[in-house]
Amino acid sequence: MGDGTINSEIANYALTKLEIDRLGLDNIDRRMLESIIKFYNGGPVGLETLAATIGEEAVTLEDMYEPYLMQIGFLNRTPRGRCVTRLAYEHLGLPFHAQKPSPSDQINLFDTNS
């Protein structure tokens, strides 16, 4: 396209064709975030489970995709797995539902059966 010169119109056209959004997220970035939200209620979810869900290698997600998503504040890595942040929900146009800890996530100091 064009006359051999890259201008903003040509660059935007190319990014649209590559399905790269205004923040630089591609299809796999969005699939990661959407999967964590839709299938795992925003997280936490383990890396291997997430990789199996979206059909990508865990090492690829960890090395290629996670660093940028963490840098822009869309993904947190916790000891229990990956969690999506409110910013990611907003960027994807999805309603944010704050995670409520389940009873199994809480320690009962008064439970003598544990």
pLDDT digits (tens, 9 = 90+) for 88-103: 999 999 999 876 655 5
Identify whether 15 is part of a domain: no
3-state secondary structure of 94: coil
Identify whether 106 is part of a domain: no
Identify whether 87 is part of a domain: yes
Tokens of 50: 């997430």
Identify whether 52 is part of a domain: yes
pLDDT digits (tens, 9 = 90+) for 7-62: 999 999 999 999 999 999 999 999 999 999 999 999 999 999 999 999 999 999 99
pTM exceeding 0.95: no
**Assign residue 4 a region: left if phi > 0, alpha if psi is -120 to 50, beta otherwise?**
left
Assess whether pLDDT exceeds 70 at residue 108.
Answer: no
Q: Which residues pair with 81 in a beta bridge?
A: 78
Identify whether 12 is part of a domain: no
State which residues form the domain around 64: 26-97
Identify whether 88 is part of a domain: yes
Identify whether 19 is part of a domain: no
Identify whether 114 is part of a domain: no
3-state secondary structure of 77: strand
Assess whether pLDDT exceeds 60 at residue 104.
Answer: no
Cβ neighbour number for residue 62 with a 10 Å cutoff: 15
Count the domains in the chain. 1
Assess whether pLDDT exceeds 90 at residue 107.
Answer: no
Looking at residue 82, which CATH number applies to its domain? 1.10.10.10
Cβ neighbour number for residue 81 with a 10 Å cutoff: 17
Q: Give the chain's end-to-end CA distance (angstroms, integer).
A: 68
What is the predicted pLDDT for the residue at 97? 80
What gap in Å lies between CA 84 and CA 92, rounded to an integer? Answer: 11
